[in-house]
Amino acid sequence: MKKYLYSLFIVLTFCFSTNAQKRKGHKEKIKLLKISYLTEQLDLTSLEAEKFWPVYNEHSKNILDFMAKKSDAIKKELSVVKEIDSINEKKALTLFNLTQYLERKKFEERENYIKKLKTILPIKKILKLQIAEKEFGRKLMRKYRHKYNKGQ
């Protein structure tokens, strides 16, 4: 299984490095790399994986939705006024309240996600997941930083 995952990781890394596809393709490749990385790091049993991935995918989608709503609200307001200093206090308060509401919802989503994970995985694997997610993000940032610096 580990040989298979390693091979998959190598193939996906190679695919990731090609420039044939644009943004959407990159997002899919990153998602596949992340799945491969997390699967390897967590060493999930088939039963754990069967229960874990639907919960993980739903949580990821919900978090992205909250982040997109927050970003869209800010972009929408800034597209009208061009800068934050131009917003009147009433609009600023409305925008602030919306962003705070979305942050609370994101926090609640995270709490519910952890509750669900506790019924699926042992706590050690939940800790491994948190560490692996952060490490994957760091590796991805290093790769992009290196790629960006090479291009200059």
pLDDT tens by residue, 30-65: 889 999 999 999 999 999 999 999 999 999 999 999
Same domain, 81 and 106: yes
Same domain, 20 and 30: yes
Same domain, 71 and 84: yes
Same domain, 112 and 67: yes
Same domain, 115 and 51: yes
d(CA 43, CA 68): 31
Q: Where does the pLDDT of residue 22 fall: very low under 50, low under 70, confident under 90, or very high at 90 and above?
A: low
Same domain, 55 and 113: yes
Encode pLDDT of 72-105 as tens digits.
887 887 777 767 777 788 888 888 898 899 899 9
User: Chain-centre distance of CA 12, in angstroms?
Assistant: 18
Provide the domain limits for residue 24: 1-44+122-152
- What is the pTM for the complete model shown? 0.72
**Ranges 6-15, 34-43, 80-89, 118-127: which has the least confidence:** 6-15
d(CA 92, CA 85): 9
Same domain, 78 and 141: no
For 16-44, give the DSSP string: HH--SS-HHHHHHHHHHHHHHHHHHHHT-
